[in-house]
Amino acid sequence: MADDKTIVGTREELTARARALVPATRARADEAERLRRLPEETVNELRDAGLQRVLQPAAYGGAEAHFGGMVDVVSTIAEACGSTGWVLAQDVIHNFMVGQFPAEA
């Protein structure tokens, strides 16, 4: 069920959240490559902005955005760091798929 961490916003608002993370994400792109994983700061910023829950059903606290909104968000982040964009896309799809399971699962 949705809780106080529900992510809402229009396509434009969600994309603006992604755009706000571009400078810091770009600045840490080399670090992500060196570490072979995303820096903790990047993971925290993506989570705090709710970007991993763009396609997640609203009933489970997500934005339940349309696919085009997800493409806008992920491509915005990927322009700053391809690796971060790829990981974000995997997280978004994972959260979408989990939200499709019946409650009994």
Q: Quick check: 9 pLDDT over 90?
A: no
CATH superfamily of 11-98: Acyl-CoA dehydrogenase/oxidase, N-terminal domain (1.10.540.10)
- Report the sign of the C-alpha dihedral through residues 86, 100, 3, 103, in that order: negative
**CA dist 86 to 9, 48, 59, 78, Å?**
22, 18, 26, 7
Q: Quick check: 1 pLDDT over 60?
A: no
Domain ranges across the chain: 11-98
pLDDT tens digits, 24-71:
999 999 999 999 999 999 999 999 999 999 999 998 889 999 999 999
Supply the angle between the helices 67-80 and 11-27 in degrees, to the nearest 10. Answer: 20
pLDDT tens digits, 62-104:
999 999 999 999 999 999 999 999 999 999 999 999 989 988 8
